[in-house]
Amino acid sequence: MKLKRTGKILLYVAATVSVFLLVDLTFPFRPVIPYATQITDSKGIVIHAFLSKDDKWRLYSNVSDITPLLRKTLIYKEDQYFYYHPGVNPVAIVRAAVRNVFSGKRTSGASTITMQVIRLVEPRKRTYYNKIIEIVRALQMELHYSKDEILQLYVNLVPYGGNIEGIKAASLLYFGKPPQLLSLAEITALTIVPNRPSSLRPGTRNEALRQARNEWLTRFEKEGLFEQNIIRDALDEPLTVKRLQVPRQAPHLSLRLKKQFPDQPIIQTPIKSQVQSQIEEQVKNYINRRKLMNIHNASVLVVNNETMEVEAYIGSADFNNPFDGGQVDGVRAVRSPGSTLKPLLYAAAFDKGITTPKKVLNDVPSNFSGYEPENFDKHFNGAITAEFALANSLNIPAVKVLKEIGTPALVEKLRKAGFKTIDKQAKGLGLSMILGGCGVTLEELTRLFTAFSNEGKLKKLSYNSDDSQDKKGTAIVSAEAAYLVTNILTQITRPDLPTNFDNTYHLPKIAWKTGTSYGKRDAWSIGYNKRYTVGVWVGNFSGEGVPELSGANTATPLLFSIFNALDYNSPKGWYKSPANISFRQVCAASGDIPSEFCDHQIPDQYIVGVSAYTKCQHLRWVFTDPSGKMSYCTYCLPERGFEKESYPNIAPELIAFYELQKIPYQKIPPHNPTCERVFHESAPLIVSPNDGSEYFIRKNEPSQIQLACQAANDVQEVFWYVNDKLSKKAHPNEAVFINPPFGRVKISCSDDKGRNSDVWIVVRRM
C-alpha cells in the first residue's frame, strides 16, 4: 500500500516536472530590457547618459557594482532566504495565505526578490491567478539564471517613482554618486523608497524618508546586522536629497558613440573625467574672452601617444549654446588646414633625400603655371634653409618642395593616413593643397601628428574599451624624418610663437605647428610631446572669417594653456636621435657637401644612405679680362691676358628677387661680344604668360598681356618675339606689355647669349 502511494507521488512529481519543463520550452523566459545608454570614463564612472527607448532612466549595473554593503542590506530587507529558496518561499506563501484568510484582506505579501523581478519585467494585475503565473515564472528564472544575475536584474529594475528605475540611476540622480560610494544611510534610504514611492520620494519628502530610514537602521541594530558604531554614524547622517541632472560631460563624443553602438547599455571610454572637465572649462572661458573679437568657438582633442586613447574630447566651446552652433562637433567638422600639413610634406622630402634641415631654398616670388602663392606676412626672405622655411611656415618653399615630390605622392600619404575628404578630392587637388586648398578634420590632423611622436607610425585612435589596439601601426614617414621634423617644430625663435610667450616659463616643452586658413576662417595649433598630442581648432562654425584670427595668436595660447595644465614639465623626457641620423659638414650658402669654394661650413643632420650627396655649386669659376669688365667662355678664351675668378652661381629667380628688392649682388661681367658660340643651357625662363594658357580679350577693348622672364646672372638684355617677330628689347627684369593677336600665339624670349625659350598661348574674343 505504501509502495503504491509512493509510486503515485513520484508519478505526480514526474508529471508536474514534465509539465513545468514543457511550459518552460513553450513559454521561455527571455526578458528584453531597454536600458538607457550610459557613457563612462576610464574608471567606469558615468560621464553622460541618455534616456532608454521607453524614456526611462534605467541604468545597467554590473554584478561588480553591487557592493557587499548593498547586497547585505537589500537581501535582509527584501528576501532574507534569497540564497536558499528556488524562487518561491513556501513558508512565506503559507504565512501570507493564513493572514489574508483570517483578515479578509491582503495584509501580507510573499514575494521573493525573484518574483519581484518577474513582476517588474512582466507587469500584471494583482490577482491570485497572476500570482500563480509569477510563481511559475520565478521557478523558470531560477532554472536559467544564477542568484547574482537575478539580484542584478532586481537592482537594475526596482522603481523609484517617475521615470527613474534601478539603484544606479537613483544613486546618480539623488546622491550624485555611483552605488559603490553610497553609505549605509544612503543605501537604506534607497532600499525603502520602492515600497512607498509617493510618500517617501527623495527631494520632496526628505523628512519622512529620514524617519523611515532611521526606523530601519534601528531595526538593523536590534537584529545585529551591523556593528553598533556603524549604525550610530548612519543615524546621525543628515539626509539632504534633491533631484539632480544626469552627468553631461563630453556630449559630442557621447552622441557619437551612442549612434555607433545604439544597443550597448554601457560604453566605456578612455576619457579622463578630471581632464575632460578641466579642458571643457578652459575652452569655455577662453572663448568667452574672445567673443568681442567675433570668435565664438573652439574644439580640442587630447590623445595619449603611448596608448592612442582619447583622454579629452571637446567638440565646441558650449554644447548648450544654440546661437553659435554649440552642438556641432568641431572635432569631425571638415575645415581648411592652412599650413598644418607642411610637417608631413617636409618629412616626405627628408625621406626621399630631396632636402635636409640646412638645405637652402629660395623664398622668392614664383609662378607655378599660373599659381602665384604668397607668404602669410606678404614678404619674401630670399635664400633660406629648409628648417627655417618649416619653422616659419613659409609658403613658396613648401610649394616648391611639393612640386618636386609630386602632389599624388602627398595625396597618397594622406589617403594612407585616413584623410577621407582629401581622398574624395584627390583628382582635383593641386599645389595649393599644401597651403590649405583641401579639407581635413581636427581628428585627422591630431592623429597625423601622433605619428611624429611615435617614430613615424600612425595608429588608430581609441574611443572606447572595445577598440582593438593597433600596436604596430602604419609607417607614414620614417623614424628619422619624424625626428628631424620634431627638432624643427620645437624651435621657439619663430613667428608663430604667441605674443608675450617669448622667454617665459609658461612655454611648455612641446613641438607644435600652427595654421591659418584662407580668409582667416580657421585657426589651428597642433602640439605634441612624448606623452600627449593635443589638437586645437578655433573659429566660427558659420565659416565667418575674422581679421584677428590666426593660428599663432588665437589657437596656440589655448594649446599652451592646455599643455601647461595637462603635462607641464613632463617626466617622459624628450626624443632621442635614431641610429640612422648623423651629422655632416655642409656649405652654409647652399646646404650641400662643401666644394673647393666653401670656406663657411656648418653642421647639418642627415639620414644616412638616404639624404642626397650633392657637391656645392654656389660659386663657379669665370674667366675675365684683367679689369674684370668682360668674361670669356672656353671657346673664346684668349691664350693670355685673362684671369680666373669665382662668381656667385645665382638662380634666375633669386636674381629677379634681388633686382626687385634692389639688393646688391656680384654680377658676372658681360660675355665677350665677339664670341660667336651659341649657349644652350640656362635659357631664360618665361614666367608670364603661362604655357598653354587661354586669354579672353574684348574685340573693342583690347587689353595687354605682361611678358616676364627669369634670366641667368650673366644676361644683360633679352629679346621678346611674338610669332617669331621681334616685339621688344628689354632688361631681363623689366616688365614688358604687348597687345597679342587673336588665335594661337607663340611667345619667345632670347637672351644676349643666343639662348631661347618658347611658350604657346591662345587668345580668344569674349
Could you list the active site residues?
A: 78, 339
CB contact burial 372-388 (16+ within 10 A = b; e otherwise): ebebbeeebbebbbbbb
Q: Could you give the CA distance from residue 197 to residue 208 in angstroms, rounded to a whole number?
A: 12
Please give the C-alpha separations between residue 137 and each of 29, 31, 118, 123, 628, in angstroms, as whole numbers: 7, 11, 7, 12, 112
Look-up of cell digits 640656362: 682
Q: Could you give the CA distance from residue 134 to residue 119 in angstroms, rounded to a whole number?
A: 7
Q: Is 251 exposed, middle or buried (0-12, 13-18, 19+ CB in 10 A)?
A: buried
CB 569 within 8 A of CB 325: no
Please give the C-alpha separations between residue 91 and each of 95, 105, 274, in angstroms, as whole numbers: 6, 19, 52
Q: Could you give the CA distance from residue 661 to residue 646 in angstroms, rounded to a whole number?
A: 24
Pairing of strands 474-475, 511-516: unpaired
* DSSP characters over 304-357: ETTT-BEEEEE-SS-TT-TTTTTTS-TTT--B--TTTTHHHHHHHHHHTTS--T
Q: Could you give the CA distance from residue 726 to residue 724 in angstroms, rounded to a whole number?
A: 7
Nearest to 474 by CA among 529, 523, 425, 412: 412
Q: Could you give the CA distance from residue 459 to residue 474 in angstroms, rounded to a whole number?
A: 6
Residues 6+ apart with CB under 8 A from 195: none
Q: Could you give the CA distance from residue 737 to residue 729 in angstroms, rounded to a whole number?
A: 12
CB 448 within 8 A of CB 460: no
Q: Could you give the CA distance from residue 442 to residue 451 in angstroms, rounded to a whole number?
A: 15
CB 525 within 8 A of CB 563: no
CB 624 within 8 A of CB 601: no
Specify the amino acid at residue 70.
L
Q: Could you give the CA distance from residue 485 to residue 480 in angstroms, rounded to a whole number?
A: 9
H or E stretch covering 90: helix 90-103
H or E stretch covering 695: strand 694-697
Q: What is the DSSP letter of 371?
A: B
Look-up of cell digits 534605467: 58
Q: Note the Cα 568 to chain centre separation in Å.
A: 21
In the β-sheet with 522-528, what is the strand arrangement from edge to edge?
Answer: 310-314, 297-304, 532-539, 522-528, 511-516
Q: Could you give the CA distance from residue 273 to residue 603 in angstroms, rounded to a whole number?
A: 47
* DSSP characters over 116-181: HHHHHHS---S-HHHHHHHHHHHHHHHHHS-HHHHHHHHHHH-B-STTEESHHHHIIIIISS-GGG
Residues 6+ apart with CB under 8 A from 282: 558, 561, 562, 565
